[in-house]
Amino acid sequence: MSDVFSHDYKAFPFMSFSAPHIAMIVLFAAASALLFIFRKGLYRLDQKFRLYMFLLLFTLELLYHFWLYHGGKWDLSFTLPLHLCSISLVLCLLLLASKSKAVFQIVYYIGVTGAIMAILTPELFLGFPHFRYFQFFITHNLIVWTCLYFVFVYQFRPTGKGLFQSFIFLNLCAAAAFFANKLTGGNYMFLSRKPENTSLLDYFGPYPYYIITLEIAALILFSLLLLPFKMIGKIKLERRNLHETCKNRD
């Protein structure tokens, strides 16, 4: 049992798109669908459900840092909350506690984008059934599920203004990560080098040019996350106008 909390990376190798990886992708998709299907019931259980998500996120992150510290691996070069998903995790905790629409706008864009990329192309070196495997995927899944919860249950909607606010916030975080990398020798937000595992950054050009490509990709991905809501809003407006037209004719 203790082996699954060890730092023996050879004992539990992780392989992208292996059966355990695909299983977590399927879990992500299935749970996302269930959040939508049971959205009305979840609203009645809202306070308890948000508390459970908050405690699960907080506990898993706390255990991760304890695991690193206990194994002598905790280091300022990679354990500060300056990775995109670490920032998103903190924002999710704030969102779950406060139900803030302003926090939602930011975490929806940067959290969903970063977490989905991490789920599909994880920088993970320990696979099933290691603790880190479960901690990594559950926390990243929970980041997206938190955003979807507020979309489905609270009817929160991302906006164009929120998109630009998120982009500005992202760049402020990148500036902080850049200076942290200089001070610690780390690679926060992959601003010093690409991740060791295969990732989408492999297609974004060499260092440092891929950082510019990342900026463009972030705006494109943010726009794609906004697009469904813009389309739904347009359809609702057209239906409302049609209804008003028919009503006036009568």
User: Cα(72)–Cα(22) distance, rounded to whole angstroms?
Assistant: 31
Residue pair 197/122 in contact by the 8 Å Cβ criterion: yes
What percentage of the chain reaches a pLDDT higher than 90?
A: 81
Residue with structure tokens 């990560």?
177
pLDDT band, residue 235 (cuts 50/70/90):
confident
**What Å distances lie between residue 204 and 219, 228, 250, CA to CA?**
15, 26, 58
Residue-wise over 55-77: b if at least 16 C-beta within 10 A, else e? eebeebbeebeebbeeeeeeeee
User: Cα(114)–Cα(70) distance, rounded to whole angstroms?
Assistant: 28
User: Cα(113)–Cα(84) distance, rounded to whole angstroms?
Assistant: 9
pLDDT of residue 237: 73
What's the predicted TM-score (pTM) here?
Answer: 0.93
Q: Is the pLDDT of residue 126 over 60?
A: yes
DSSP state for residue 188 in the 8-state scheme: G
Each domain of the chain, given as residue ranges in start order, spans: 2-249
Instruction: Give, rounded to a whole angstrom, the gap between the first and last alpha carbons of the chain.
Output: 74
How many CB atoms neighbour CB 195 within 10 A? 16
Q: Is the pLDDT of residue 1 over 60?
A: no
> Mean per-residue pLDDT for 1-23?
90
> Mean per-residue pLDDT for 114-138?
95
Average pLDDT taken over every residue of the chain: 92
User: Where does 11-100 have alpha helices with state H?
Assistant: 19-37, 39-44, 46-70, 84-98
User: Cα(28)–Cα(127) distance, rounded to whole angstroms?
Assistant: 17
pLDDT band, residue 203 (cuts 50/70/90):
confident
